[in-house]
Structures are given as structure tokens and as C-alpha cells.
């Protein structure tokens, strides 16, 4: 096998059969409220009770309020990109699956592998924090008993003592997640409801003890400078796991094309508001945060001499962290299920229980791995690995949205129907819904078979039918109920003769040449209406220039002050030149024609929102610590060994390509004889 063939195989894209996108081994049982509860519950526990106080004390100080805004904007921009892909491709796997389809197998595996690490670490952090909160409620009894009965000298990596409570709580949550998905989401919603109530109590208490001097007294509002603000945002952003959790559950949603995008928007909005309230309340009511404890929020109230409320907040920590544990393990198992289903990791992890419709093997394995890690590793070590996977997936998804919009063709599900003025517009008098083929696997049935009883068409005096009319749709797979509703609406539109007043259906493409605000910067619409290979190459060049300029600007802005003086004229010249290149690349992308296919959800203001997402995420990636990148490289080395040792040749796409090659060779030999 040549190097060129290996490289081409690394970029092979996952084949998407549109008619099968709604088929799933998992049970579709989740609604909008279930997805919102899953998103909020998986985010607020670790974010509120651990990462907020950690980032305030270690990274940003009072300026963590700005960190919350930056993290919220980055998540919102990424969430809009996720929402479009969740409507196009309603499958488990989230960013891994979307990247596999748009950018190729290797990029998809890298994103999926890092998100596995991200959520294993999130699960371990939540479990260790839950153990700390329980020990706080018991006045340190657990830690003292373990220290007296066990000798353990793990140092900075392995900790002072094994965390048995964290180990046990993960095993309990694993058993819950291994049952019905509906059970997990209902329990998650209940826990989230009580968690939000307790969080609001803390916010109200903090606002009643506001001291404005806490933001102005030394070391001041920007205690660690602008770098500290970005560090706080990058530390917090991994707690916005609601996007990944919701999109990974889209394969178990009843109507994924409708509810997933709404669930993403609502959960991001609610989580951002809660984080902002917590950060302002905590920093305005207390000047110095304790740095030697995971459970700073109860200590905040204790320092304010409100001891009864501190116990209530500790109970809230137990509730919220349980919700985070359920949400993290729920997402984690669906991610591994999707990767295993594509045979990039062990095949057995994609087996689904016939009783519960749950990937039981992946649940058990990941639960055990997370429990063991939480048992032995120190909390600080775990924190040095998080966020990098989330920021990478956010960046890659933004790139993927630009790719699918500026490439010819359409990926995934879309809304498509003929224009009423088209010659294929047929009118039938006796429309029978019983003949409509609702099975997505039978979407290739001919139009004549779908619309029987149309052989007798009584004509009106003006030459048009007076009976019910049916509009032939192309083969597009979506929810059965939605198909019936749309067909019913279309039939009602055309009950009257053609010359009477009626409502015209939207076209498959938008009425303008571009379909978004960027049309002001584009060439006239009569030059190019649809993307071509040539225009896509131009857009790709602009995208590469934009990413390169973003990386250079982030590195110079964050780290040049440690090496050189930023006030030197040539350093300012470099920043100015790359800023001009960044703007020029944006204009170059904007002026290319965009794919105008009508989708169930479109990311608004493309390419501006994806490009802003890339810029913010690159700055946050550059602000991560050196040790975070070292541990990321170690994890990637392990992942590459797994991929090239197993996934490369066992991939379903590789096997399909090999079968096609064999069939081609057999055909050539038979023709030769």
C-alpha cells in the first residue's frame, strides 16, 4: 500500500444514507424537556460547585465575570453550528460523527477520541467533588477514617489517599445509566430542578451581602490580567457539556430534527445565566476565595457567618454533582457506541441490550475506567487535561459548517419539494393516505406507487383540477408524523381552483441569491448562484488563511509580552498585517456562493458566526497551560496506536472500499475472458 493511498484513506468520509438516518438500534423515547434536562443537568453540577470557585481563585479573580461571558459566547456560536448538524444528521456521536461525515475519518477519530477523554475526566472530577461535599457534610469523618486505616503516599499525582467514595458513586451511577434512557433523563430533570432552586438561594444570599470594594481593592478586578480572563474562560468552557450531551442523545429523540436545536439553545441560555449570577454573587460578596479546597461555595457562606445556608449549599452540591455524573456518563457511552459502530474501536462496545436498548458493554467499561481513575488520581492532575477536547471540537464543528455550506451538494436531511409551477406538479382527486409509504427504508418507491387513484382527474373550466391535490416530494427521510403533517398542509393549500387565492409554498432554495446577511458583500447573483468546485477551492483557501492568522494573532497577543516588548513598532506591524489578512480572508469566503438548500435548521449569518467561533476558540486554546498540551499529546499517542493498530483496517468505510475494489477486479477478469 502506497503512502498516497494511506493518506487518501485517512480522509475518507463516512457514507450517509439519508433514508436510514432515522433508523436506530436505540429507542427513540426522549422529548424536548428530556433533552433540556440532560443538557442543563450535565453542565451545572461541575460548573457551579467546582469550576466557578476554582477559576476565581486560581485563574481570573473577579474578572471571571468576563470569562463567563466569553465562554458563553463561544458556546453559543458553537451551539448554533451543532444545531445545524443535529438537524442534518440526527445520530449519536455528536462532533465525532459530524466531523467524520464532513472532514474525514482521521479528523473524526481525533475529535471523538479527545471527547472520550474529556468526559471521562469530567466524570472523575464530579465524583471526587461529590466525595468532598459528602465529607464536608460529615465534618471530615470519611477522610480521617481512610487515613487511619490505609497507608498511601501517592504524592502530587496519586493524591494523599484513595478516594473510595468517588469510586463507589461512579459504580452506582453506572448501574442507573445502564437501565432505560428515559429513567436517566427523568432522574436528571428532578435533580436539576432542585439544583437550580438551591443555586438561586446562594445567588440571592450573595446579592444581599454585596461589597463593591471586592472588585476594586488590590489585586483589583483584573487580578491576573487579560491572560487570566482567557484562562478562566478556557477552564470553564468544558463544563458546557450540554451541547455534546444533547446532540449525542438525538438518536434517542422522538423528533430530532425539530427539538434538538431548541434544546441546545435553551440549555446554553439557562446555563450562561446561572454561571453569570453565581460569579457576580460570589465575587461581590467575598474578596478572597479559599484555594486549598474543592468546595469553596459552602466556605463562602461560612465566611459570611451564614452557617445554616452553607449546609444547604453542600446538599445542593451533592444533588448537582449527581446530575453531572449521570449526564457525563450518558454522553460518554453514546459517543463510544457511535465510534464502535463504525468499527474504529472494539466492535463489542456497540452491542445494544435487547431489553433496555442501551449500549450496555460501553456503559460498564467506561464506568469502571472512570471509577478507577477517580480512585487513584489527584484532582489537580485531572483539571490539567480538561477543556482542550471541547475547544477542539467547537473549532472543528465551525470549520465543518463552512465546508458543507460552500461545497457543492447537500449533506444529510433537508426540506425539499417541487415548485408548484414545475411541470411535475400533479393534482389528484382521490388522495389516499394509506398508500403513502412512510417507511424510511422504502423512500425509493416511485411517484406512481405513492399516489394511486390519480388516473381520473376532472378538469375545471380553466383547465385545473377542482379536487384535492398532492404535491410530489422527492425522497427525503424525516419523521413520519412530520411527513403526514406536511402532506396534509400541502393538500389543504390546493383545495380551490388555481385561479383563486392560495398560499404559495416556499421553494427548496431561499428567495435571495445568498440567503443571509452576507449577501451585501457578495458578487451579483446573476454571476454564480450555486457553489462549484472552483468556488469551493477559493473558499477553502480563505478558510486556511483565516485559521493561520487566528493562530498567529493568538500566540503573539498572549505570549509575546514574555519574550518581546509589544510596544516595538515591528511587533505592532505584524499584528496589523495579520489582522488585515484575517479580514481579507473573511471577505474572500463571504463573496463565494453558498449552498442554499432549505434545511430544518440553518446556522444564521454564515460564515460570520462560524468564523467568530474559530477565532474565540483559537485564543482559548492558546491560553491553556503547557502541561495540558503535554497530556493531550500523550493521550493522542495512545489513540493513534489504537487507530492504526485496529481502527484503520476494521473501519466500515475501509471494508466497503475493499469490497468495491474486489468486485471491480472480478468484473474486469470476467470481461477479459
pLDDT digits (tens, 9 = 90+) for 39-70: 888 888 888 888 888 888 888 888 999 999 99
Q: Measured between alpha carbons, how far is residue 559 from residues 83, 226, 551, 553 in Å?
A: 34, 11, 12, 10
> pLDDT tens digits for 455-476?
333 333 333 333 333 333 333 3
Range among 201-215, 550-564, 566-580 rated most confident: 201-215
**Average pLDDT of the segment spanning 353-375:** 85
Helix runs in 530-568, H state only? 533-563
pLDDT for 481 beyond 70: no
Residue 44 has which C-alpha cell? 451545572
> pLDDT tens digits for 150-178?
766 656 666 677 889 999 999 999 988 88
Of residues 671 and 163, which shows the higher confidence score? 163
CA angle 279, 282, 283 (to 5 degrees): 80
Of residues 373 and 417, which shows the higher confidence score? 373
Residue 224 has which C-alpha cell? 491576573
pLDDT for 616 beyond 90: yes
What single-letter DSSP state applies at residue 56?
I
What is the Cα–Cα distance from 530 to 378, expressed in whole angstroms? Answer: 54
What is the Cα–Cα distance from 189 to 288, expressed in whole angstroms? Answer: 34
> pLDDT tens digits for 562-604?
655 555 677 788 889 999 999 999 999 999 999 888 888 899 9
> pLDDT tens digits for 110-127?
999 998 988 898 899 899
In the block, which residue shows the cell 484575517? Answer: 582
Lowest mean pLDDT among 303-317, 352-366, 552-566, 644-658: 552-566
Of residues 522 and 291, which shows the higher confidence score? 291
The pLDDT, as a whole number, for residue 673 is 53
CA 116 to chain centre: 13
The pLDDT, as a whole number, for residue 402 is 95
From 236, 214, 299, select the one nearest 73 (Cα to Cα). 236
pLDDT for 146 beyond 60: yes
Q: How many CB atoms lie within 10 A of CB 21?
A: 20
The pLDDT, as a whole number, for residue 258 is 83
Could you tell me if 609 and 552 are in contact, meaning their C-beta atoms sit under 8 angstroms apart?
A: no
Lowest mean pLDDT among 50-59, 378-387, 402-411: 378-387
Residue 377 has which C-alpha cell? 488520581
Question: pLDDT averaged over the chain?
Answer: 77
Q: If pLDDT is split at 50, 70 and 90, which confidence band does 275 have? A: very high
What is the Cα–Cα distance from 141 to 483, expressed in whole angstroms? Answer: 60
Q: Is 55 helix (H, G, I), strand (E, B) or coil?
A: helix
**Average pLDDT of the segment spanning 527-539:** 84
CA angle 400, 406, 410 (to 5 degrees): 80
Q: Is 125 helix (H, G, I), strand (E, B) or coil?
A: helix
The pLDDT, as a whole number, for residue 563 is 55
Residues 6+ apart with CB under 8 A from 534: none
Q: If pLDDT is split at 50, 70 and 90, which confidence band does 528 have? A: low
All domains of the chain, ordered by start, with CATH?
24-145+164-333+375-406 (1.20.1740.10)
From 351, 340, 348, 343, select the one nearest 649 (Cα to Cα). 343
Share of the chain above pLDDT 70, in %: 77
The pLDDT, as a whole number, for residue 636 is 92
Return the H-helix or E-strand segment holding 359: none
Q: Which residues pair with 509 in a beta bridge?
A: 597
pLDDT for 269 beyond 80: yes
> pLDDT tens digits for 517-526?
444 445 444 4
Share of the chain above pLDDT 90, in %: 25
Lowest mean pLDDT among 39-43, 128-132, 370-374, 449-453: 449-453
Please compute Rg for the chain using Cα positions: 28
Amino acid at each position: 500500500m502506497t503512502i498516497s493511498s494511506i493518506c487518501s484513506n485517512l480522509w475518507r468520509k463516512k457514507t450517509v444514507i439519508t433514508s436510514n438516518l432515522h433508523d436506530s438500534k436505540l429507542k427513540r423515547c426522549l422529548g424536548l424537556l428530556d433533552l433540556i434536562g440532560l443538557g442543563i443537568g450535565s453542565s451545572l453540577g461541575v460548573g457551579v460547585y467546582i469550576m466557578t470557585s476554582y477559576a476565581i481563585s486560581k485563574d481570573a479573580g473577579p474578572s471571571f465575570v468576563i470569562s463567563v461571558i466569553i465562554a458563553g459566547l463561544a458556546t453559543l456560536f458553537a451551539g448554533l453550528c451543532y444545531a445545524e448538524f443535529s438537524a442534518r444528521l440526527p445520530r449519536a456521536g455528536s462532533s465525532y460523527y459530524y466531523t467524520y461525515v464532513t472532514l474525514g475519518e482521521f479528523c473524526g477519530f481525533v475529535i471523538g477520541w479527545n471527547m472520550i477523554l474529556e468526559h471521562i475526566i469530567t466524570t472523575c472530577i464530579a465524583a471526587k467533588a461529590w466525595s468532598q461535599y459528602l465529607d464536608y457534610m460529615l465534618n471530615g469523618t470519611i477522610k480521617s477514617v481512610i487515613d487511619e486505616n490505609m497507608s498511601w503516599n501517592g504524592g502530587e499525582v496519586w493524591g494523599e489517599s484513595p478516594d473510595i467514595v468517588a469510586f463507589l458513586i461512579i459504580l452506582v451511577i453506572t448501574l442507573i445509566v445502564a437501565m432505560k434512557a428515559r429513567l436517566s433523563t427523568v432522574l436528571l430533570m428532578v435533580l436539576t430542578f432542585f439544583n437550580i432552586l438551591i443555586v438561586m438561594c446562594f445567588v440571592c444570599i450573595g446579592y444581599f451581602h454585596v461589597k463593591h470594594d471586592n472588585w476594586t481593592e488590590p489585586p483589583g478586578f483584573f487580578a491576573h490580567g487579560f491572560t487570566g480572563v482567557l484562562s478562566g474562560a478556557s477552564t470553564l468552557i468544558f463544563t458546557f457539556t450540554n451541547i455534546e450531551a444533547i446532540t449525542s442523545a438525538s438518536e434517542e429523540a422522538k423528533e430530532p430534527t425539530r427539538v434538538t436545536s431548541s434544546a441546545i439553545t435553551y440549555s446554553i441560555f439557562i446555563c450562561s445565566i446561572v454561571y453569570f449570577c453565581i460569579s457576580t454573587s460570589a465575587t461581590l460578596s467575598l474578596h478572597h476565595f479559599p484555594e486549598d479546597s474543592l468546595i469553596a461555595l459552602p466556605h463562602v457562606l461560612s465566611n459570611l457567618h451564614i452557617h445554616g445556608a452553607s449546609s444547604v449549599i453542600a446538599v445542593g452540591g451533592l444533588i448537582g454533582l449527581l446530575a453531572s455524573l449521570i449526564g457525563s456518563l450518558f454522553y460518554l457511552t453514546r459517543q463510544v457506541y457511535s465510534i464502535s459502530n463504525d468499527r474504529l474501536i472494539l466492535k463489542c462496545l456497540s452491542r445494544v441490550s435487547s431489553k433496555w436498548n442501551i449500549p450496555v458493554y460501553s456503559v460498564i467499561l467506561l464506568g469502571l475506567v472512570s471509577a478507577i481513575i477517580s480512585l487513584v488520581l489527584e484532582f489537580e492532575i485531572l483539571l490539567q487535561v480538561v477543556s482542550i477536547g471541547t475547544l477542539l471540537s467547537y473549532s472543528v464543528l465551525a470549520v465543518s459548517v463552512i465546508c458543507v455550506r460552500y461545497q457543492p451538494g447537500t449533506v444529510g436531511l433537508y426540506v425539499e419539494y417541487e415548485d408548484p409551477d414545475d411541470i411535475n406538479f400533479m393534482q389528484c382527486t382521490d388522495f389516499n393516505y394509506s398508500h403513502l409509504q412512510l417507511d424510511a427504508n422504502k423512500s425509493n418507491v416511485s411517484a406512481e406507487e405513492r399516489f394511486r387513484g390519480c388516473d381520473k382527474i376532472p378538469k375545471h373550466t380553466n383547465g385545473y383540477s377542482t379536487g384535492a391535490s398532492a404535491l410530489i416530494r422527492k425522497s427525503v427521510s424525516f419523521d413520519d408524523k412530520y411527513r403526514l403533517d406536511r402532506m396534509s398542509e400541502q393538500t389543504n393549500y390546493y383545495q380551490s381552483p388555481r385561479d383563486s387565492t392560495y398560499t404559495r409554498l416556499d421553494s427548496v432554495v431561499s428567495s435571495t441569491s445568498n440567503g443571509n446577511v452576507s449577501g451585501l458583500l457578495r458578487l451579483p447573483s446573476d454571476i454564480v448562484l450555486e457553489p462549484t468546485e472552483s468556488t469551493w477551492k477559493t473558499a477553502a483557501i480563505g478558510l486556511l488563511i483565516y485559521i493561520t492568522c487566528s493562530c498567529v494573532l493568538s500566540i503573539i497577543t498572549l505570549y509575546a509580552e514574555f519574550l518581546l516588548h509589544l510596544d516595538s513598532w515591528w511587533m505592532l506591524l505584524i499584528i496589523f498585517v495579520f489582522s488585515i489578512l484575517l479580514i481579507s480572508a473573511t471577505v474572500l469566503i463571504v463573496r463565494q456562493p453558498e449552498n442554499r438548500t432549505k434545511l430544518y435548521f440553518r446556522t444564521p449569518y454564515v460564515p460570520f458566526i462560524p468564523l467568530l467561533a474559530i477565532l474565540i476558540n483559537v485564543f482559548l486554546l492558546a491560553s491553556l497551560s503547557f502541561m495540558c498540551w503535554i497530556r493531550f499529546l500523550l493521550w493522542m499517542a495512545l489513540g493513534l496506536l489504537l487507530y492504526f493498530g485496529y481502527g484503520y483496517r476494521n473501519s466500515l468505510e475501509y471494508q466497503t472500499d475493499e469490497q468495491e475494489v474486489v468486485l471491480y477486479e472480478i468484473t474486469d477478469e470476467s470481461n477479459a475472458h
